[in-house]
Amino acid sequence: MIFTTGDWLFPELSKDYHCIAVDAIGDMGRSCPKDNNPGNGPGTEEETAEWIVQVLNELHIQQPVHVIGYSMGTTLGTCLTRFYPEKVGKMILMAPVFLLAPVRILWLAQAISFGLLSQMVSQEGSMAKSLQDWFFGSMVADPKSLANMKHPELRKATENIGTAQVRLRPTLVDVEILTQINQNCPTLVVIGQRENVVDPQAAVAHAQKANLQVIEYENAGHMFFCESPARDDVIERAKEFLST
């Protein structure tokens, strides 16, 4: 949570809403799977939805909640909306990478190369920095925006641990299912036109077939949370969507 929406959307929306950020089980955070074994985390969409409902119940939240997901978080949020529509008011999907369009092969190749090459160089050297700039720079429209990424010390500590082990396997969601979700819980998609993990045009087309509302940012990539003007504008657009 800290990496993405924690210091961006959260403080602004918490002025008017009760904001609750959930650490996914098996990801880099404080949520700990049963018996310290990530294999015990929710592994299906139904289990993921059930897990979220248990969290809400433990927090004694009975009324419908709005859902905001970013990237992989859009898959988690959609699980709740799909299986427990009565528990969701509205949903915002930010930079969805699995739900609306297949992942680009080019990005996959880049990600694999990045993962492999990063193991071969000193993490303290300039080569590591160049690799990071190359990979993360491709996920924003303007690489200078990476300067807005915060908490490098936490990122480094995360890298030292290894990989997240979230069991849920994300999938493309059919238009019919998305349409049903949108009928029950009005859904907004926010995506950058420079998105490189998926084809943004394909994602937008898929979303529009299901009548989802879509906001596109011309000069923004996957990590639009560190890019202007998307970073600031989306806060206002989210407020507007949730309040109407």
Partner 1 sequence: MLFSSKYKWHEGPKWERFFQIYDAIAKDMFEESRQVATHYGATQVHMSGNPQNPPIVFFHGIATCRLMYGACAVLLISSSRSSGFHVSVPWCCTVVFVVVLHGL
Between residue 23 and residue 52, which ones bind partner 1 under the rule CB under 8 A? 23-34, 36-38, 40-42, 47, 50-52
Q: Please report how close the Cβ of residue 93 comes to partner 1 at its closest, in angstroms.
A: 10
Query: What is the CA angle 40-43-44, rounded to 5?
Result: 145
Other Cβ atoms within 10 Å of 220 Cβ, number? 29
Which C-beta is closer to partner 1: that of 170 or that of 221? 170
Total Cβ atoms within 10 A of residue 144: 11
- Which residues from 99-128 bind partner 1, rule CB under 8 A? 102-103, 105, 108-109, 111-112, 114-116, 118-119
CA distance 196 to 212: 21
Residue selected from 132, 148, 184, 193 as contacting partner 1 according to rule CB under 8 A: 132
Q: Which stretch binds partner 1 (CB under 8 A): 4-12, 183-191, 208-216, 228-236?
A: 4-12
Instruction: Quickly tell me which residue has 């009760």 as its tokens.
Output: 18
CA distances from 193 to 142, 190, 218, 222 (A): 13, 10, 5, 9
Least gap, CB of 203 to partner 1 (angstroms): 13
Q: Is 226 exposed, middle or buried (0-12, 13-18, 19+ CB in 10 A)?
A: buried
CB of 150 to partner 1, least distance (A): 9
Distance CA 106, CA 88 (A): 35
Site for partner 1 in 203-242 (CB under 8 A): 242
Residues numbered 140 to 199 that lie near partner 1 (CB under 8 A) are 151, 153-155, 157-166, 169-172
Which of 31, 27, 25 lies closest to 3 in space, CA to CA?
27
Given the complex with partner 1, which of 49 and 215 has the nearer CB atom? 49
162: left (phi over 0), alpha (psi -120 to 50) or beta: left
| Residue 227 Cβ vs partner 1, minimum distance, rounded to whole Å | 15
Give the shortest CB-218-to-partner 1 separation in angstroms: 22
**Least distance in Å: CB of 31 to partner 1?**
5
Q: In whole angstroms, give the CA distance from residue 47 to residue 45.
A: 5
Q: From 9-17, 140-148, 179-187, 208-216, give the range in contact with partner 1 by CB under 8 A.
A: 9-17
Which residues from 45-104 bind partner 1, rule CB under 8 A? 47, 50-52, 54-56, 58-59, 61, 63, 65-74, 76-77, 80, 89, 95, 98, 102-103
Looking at the Cβ atoms of 94 and 215, the one nearer to partner 1 is 94
Within 13 Å and on the Cβ side, how many CA atoms surround 96?
33
